Amino acid sequence: MPTLKELRLQKGWTQKELGMKFRKTKPPEMISRWENGISIPSSLSLMEISQIFNVKFEDILIDLSINKKEAK
């Protein structure tokens, strides 16, 4: 399963461009924190990420959880 960053880069999007895909725009700093394992998105944001990239909710959650553990 590709990481959130890999999914974003496959689309050729910046963090700002990804943030603008959400119903309520997310700042690039928030996207960066998710990608670097500093924080995990809310369940609503996880659902939106899965819809934006057409991937399973669970796959995104697993990737972000693993990334957060590695960042510690």
| Domain CATH number, residue 44 | 1.10.260
Asked if residue 30 has pLDDT above 70, the reply is: yes
Asked if residue 33 has pLDDT above 70, the reply is: yes
Tell me which residue has tokens 């659902």: 47
Can you spell out the DSSP letters for the chain? ---HHHHHHHHT--HHHHHTTSSS---HHHHHHHHTTS----HHHHHHHHHHHT--HHHHHHHHHHHHHHH-
Asked if residue 55 has pLDDT above 70, the reply is: yes
Asked if residue 67 has pLDDT above 80, the reply is: no
Q: Which domain holds residue 48?
A: 4-71
Average model confidence (pLDDT) across the chain: 91
Asked if residue 63 has pLDDT above 70, the reply is: yes
CA–CA separation, 29 vs 56, rounded Å?
Answer: 24
How many domains does one find in the chain? 1
Neighbours of 65 (CB within 10 A): 12
